[in-house]
Chain A
Amino acid sequence: MRFHYLLALLLTVTMPPHAHAAAQLHIGNTGEPQTLDPHRYNLRLEETLLNDLFMGLTTFSARGEIVPGAAQSWDTSDDGLTWQFYLRPDLAWSDGAPLTAHDFVYAYRRLQAPETAASLAYFMYMLKNAAAINRGEMPVTELGVSAVDDHTLVLTLERPYPYLLERLLYPTAYPVPKHVIERHGDAWVKPANWVSNGAYTLTEWQPQAHVEFRVNPHFVSEPAIDTVRYHAVATEQSAYNRYRSGELHAISAFPIGELDKVRAGTPDALRLSGLLSMMYLVFNTGHRPLDDVRVREALALAIDQRVLTDKVLRSGYTPAFSFTPTLLDAYEGVPQPHTMTPMPERLTKARALLQAAGINADNPLELTLRHVTGSEQKKVNLAITGMWRRIGVRTELHQSELRNHFGDLRQGDFEVAWAGWVGENNAEHYLGLLQSETGDVNYGRFSSAEYDALMAEAQRTADANARNALLQEAEAVAASLYPVVPLYSTAVRRLVHPDLQGWHDNPRDVHQVRYLSWPDPPQDP
Chain B
Amino acid sequence: MTAYLGSRALYTLLTFFVVVTVVFALLRAAPGGPFDGERRLPPEIEANLQAAYGLDQPLTTQYLRYWGNLLTGDLGPSFKQKDFTVGELIAAGLPISLGLGLSALVLALMLGMGIGITAGLRPGSNLDQGLMAVTNLNLALPTIIAAPLMVLIFSVGLAWFPAGGSGSARHFVLPAVALALPYVAAIARLMRGSIASARLEPHVRTARAKGLSEARVVWRHMLPIAATPLISFLGPAAAGLLTGSVVVEQIFDLPGIGRYFVQGALNRDYTLVMGVVIVYAGAILTFNLLVDLAYGALDPRMRLRS
Task: Report which A residues bind B (CB closer than 8 A).
Answer: 3-4, 6-8, 10-12, 14-18, 32, 34-37, 40, 42-44, 114-122, 131, 134-136, 186, 189-190, 205-210, 231-235, 237-238, 241-242, 244-247, 401, 403-404, 406-407, 410, 439-441, 525
Contact = CB atoms under 8 A, between A and B. Distances in A.
A136 B45 CA distance: 10
A206 B255 contact: yes
Interface residues on B, range: 35 or more
B176 A7 contact: yes
Q: Among B106, B165, B255, which residue has the most Cβ atoms of chain A within 10 A?
A: B165
A237 B156 CA distance: 12
Contacts of B17: none
Contacts, number: 177
B103 interface: yes
B162 A247 contact: yes
Given A119-B41, A242-B162, A407 B252 contact: no
B165 A207 contact: no
Contact of A135 (B44, B93, B110): B44
B6 interface: no
Contact of B155 (A42, A131, A241): A241
A187 to B, nearest CB: 9
B38 A42 contact: yes
Interface stretch (B77-85, B203-211, B296-304): B77-85
B156 A244 contact: yes
Given A34-B82, A35-B81, A241-B156, A11 B165 contact: no
Contacts of A122: 42, 45
B59 to A, nearest CB: 20
A208 B259 contact: yes
B32 A404 contact: yes
B145 interface: no
Contacts of A440: 40
Q: Among B35, B36, B38, B159, which residue has the most Cβ atoms of chain A within 10 A?
A: B38
A85 B273 CA distance: 46
Contacts of B31: 404, 407
B118 interface: no
B20 interface: no
28 contacts: A3-B110, A6-B103, A6-B106, A7-B172, A11-B99, A14-B99, A15-B169, A17-B168, A18-B170, A32-B263, A43-B38, A114-B48, A119-B39, A122-B45, A135-B44, A207-B81, A207-B93, A208-B92, A209-B255, A233-B253, A234-B249, A241-B164, A242-B163, A247-B162, A247-B164, A403-B36, A406-B36, A525-B162
Given A11-B99, A34-B82, A406-B36, A119 B45 contact: yes
Q: Which 3 A-B pairs have the closest CB atoms?
A: A18-B167, A208-B255, A14-B95
Given A32-B263, A34-B81, A12 B169 contact: yes
Interface in B208-239: none
Contacts of B82: 34-35, 37, 40
B36 A407 contact: yes
Contacts of B84: 207
B268 A403 contact: yes
B37 interface: yes
B252 A238 contact: yes
Q: Among B88, B151, B152, B166, which residue has the most Cβ atoms of chain A within 10 A?
A: B166
A115 B48 CA distance: 7
Nearest to B250: A234
Given A12-B169, A208-B93, A404-B32, A35 B83 contact: yes
A8 B172 CA distance: 9
Q: Among B41, B102, B152, which residue has the most Cβ atoms of chain A within 10 A?
A: B41
A16 B164 CA distance: 15
B127 interface: no
B123 interface: no
A237 B148 CA distance: 9
B165 A3 contact: no
A275 to B, nearest CB: 14
B159 A441 contact: no
A33 B13 CA distance: 36
Contacts of B171: 15, 18
Interface in B149-188: 151-152, 155-156, 159, 162-173, 176
Given A6-B106, A134-B45, A11 B169 contact: yes
Interface string B1-40: 0000000000000000000000000000001100111111
Given A18-B167, A117-B49, A119-B39, 15 more contacts: A7-B169, A17-B167, A35-B82, A118-B45, A118-B48, A136-B44, A186-B83, A189-B83, A207-B84, A233-B253, A242-B162, A246-B159, A401-B266, A403-B32, A406-B40
B48 A3 contact: no
A210 B171 CA distance: 14
A401 B31 CA distance: 10
B1 to A, nearest CB: 34
A134 B44 CA distance: 7
Given A10-B102, A117-B49, A242 B253 contact: yes
Nearest to B155: A245
Given A209-B166, A407-B32, A10 B81 contact: no
Nearest to A440: B40
Contact of A117 (B36, B52, B148): B52
B51 interface: yes
A43 B35 CA distance: 12
Given A14-B99, A190-B83, A407-B36, A207 B89 contact: yes
Interface string B87-98: 011001101101
A244 to B, nearest CB: 5
A216 to B, nearest CB: 19
B270 interface: no
A120 B80 CA distance: 15
Nearest to B266: A401
Nearest to B40: A441
Contacts of B176: 7
Contacts of B152: 241
Contacts of A136: 44
Contacts of B36: 403, 406-407
Nearest to B79: A34
A525 B82 CA distance: 34
A241 B81 contact: no
Contacts of A35: 81-83
Contacts of A118: 45, 48
B45 A37 contact: no
Contacts of B83: 34-37, 186, 189-190, 205
